[in-house]
Amino acid sequence: MINMFRRDFLLGSSALVLGQAGKSLASGDETTGLKDRAARRGMTYGCALGADQISRQPLLVKRIVQECGILVPENDLKWRVTGENPVRPDYSRGESLVRFATQHGMLLRGHTAAWYKSQPDWAVAALTSAEAVALVIERVQSVVGHFSGRIVEWDVVNEAVEPRDGLPNRLRNSPEYRYGGLEYIADCFHAARGADPKAKLYYNDYGLEYDSEDEEARRRGVLDLLSALKAANTPVDGLGIQSHLKVGNRFNAERFRRFLGDVASLGLEIRLTELDVNDERVQGDPIVRDEAVASHARAFLAAALEETAVRGVLTWGLSDSTSWLSSTVSRRDGSKPRPLPLDAMMLRKPLWTAIAESFDGAPIRN
């Protein structure tokens, strides 16, 4: 039955398609999920989820329970979502996710307390003066404090570094960084630690993975930022590397490993927080595309998981049917991207196998 579903989905009548489906299913029995493969090495695996998916997508939910040991709200805790009312934040969607995670024995990450890109309109209007930076600090206290003891790890500040903007310290040219700079970022972390003394506090960013001048500049900017925060005794515990990968981008394992080593030597842990693989540049049938996605991820994960400071991996969704890339990528053949470990029928793809085997090949964490 399962093979038939997959065969129909891939529009495949050929033995090749059936062979691929067989291979993908044989790569792990149904009861052993990615969370188990990660746990054997002392790591965690999980994915992003939206509260509305819990009731609306039973098949997805079933697979999430099988595969994930940790969840992160894709959007539900962003300020733009919780903060429509300036005096009464709405944490109901976050509460649903806490209930779901607790019910299934999963951990929950918080995403994200302070992000320049997800602020309610009233806050954006207020953030034009230096004093208004205090608003963000209040928001950090509010959301981290509300879920204190229930969320194990927070992306406290998201995407603060943008070397191309030309600000000192390579920070992003948005009001909070213009007015508050590094001190503002440190204040966000102090506020989070005060609101939940036990949660691990992460700085999270993208564009740190590839071998390009842009990404090398961002890696330097992030390292400088983290070093400065540590030097000022800021309570930062880790770096989240988003890991939005794209087939065709140049990856240099040695250079990336050096970066991870530099981060680890600051006494920080690391997590791959939003892994997915954009296959926009790969033409061909789903089999060709899925293999290209898997082999791209394999090279990246081999380098990343070799570093024992890396504590685990989250993918940005579990199934291709819910990926944010479906609404942002337009493929020449008009088909949807295939960036995640499960296909739209909730069946395991070669990317699932690549992640599972990358966990298997990684050194054991204490």
CA-atom Rg of the chain in angstroms: 20
Residue 339's contacts (CB-CB under 8 Å, 6 or more residues apart) are 276, 277, 278, 279, 293, 320, 323, 325, 351
Contact status: 324 vs ligand G3I (CB under 6 A): yes
When the beta carbons of 93 and 296 are compared against ligand G3I, the nearer one is 93
Pattern 60-79, ligand G3I, x by CB under 6 A: --------------xx--x-
Of 74 and 269, nearer to ligand G3I (C-beta) is: 74
In whole angstroms, give the CA distance from residue 160 to residue 115.
8
Rounded CA-CA distance 149/166 in Å is: 39
Span between the terminal Cα atoms of the chain, in Å = 41
Is 57 a binding residue for ligand G3I by CB under 6 A? The answer is no
- At its nearest, how many Å lie between ligand G3I and the CB of residue 328? 8
Q: Assess 242 for contact with ligand G3I (CB under 6 A).
A: yes
Reported residue count of the chain is: 366
**Helix, strand, or coil (residue 229):** helix
Tokens 């939003």 — which residue?
274
Closer of 20 and 204 to ligand G3I (Cβ): 204
Q: Which tokens belong to 203? A: 């700085």
322 binds ligand G3I (CB under 6 A): no
**Smallest gap from residue 206 Cβ to ligand G3I (A):** 6
Interface with ligand G3I (CB under 6 A), residue from 67, 162, 215, 274: 274
- With beta carbons less than 8 A apart as the criterion, state whether 196 and 149 touch: yes
Is 278 a residue that touches ligand G3I (CB under 6 A)? no
- Binding track over 151-190 against ligand G3I, x by CB under 6 A: -------x--------------------------------
Evaluate the omega torsion of the peptide bond into residue 112 and state whether it is cis, within 30 degrees of 0.
yes
Task: State the minimum distance, in angstroms, from the CB of residue 4 to ligand G3I.
Answer: 31
User: Residue numbers of the site for ligand G3I (CB under 6 A)?
Assistant: 74-75, 78, 118, 158, 206, 242, 274, 324
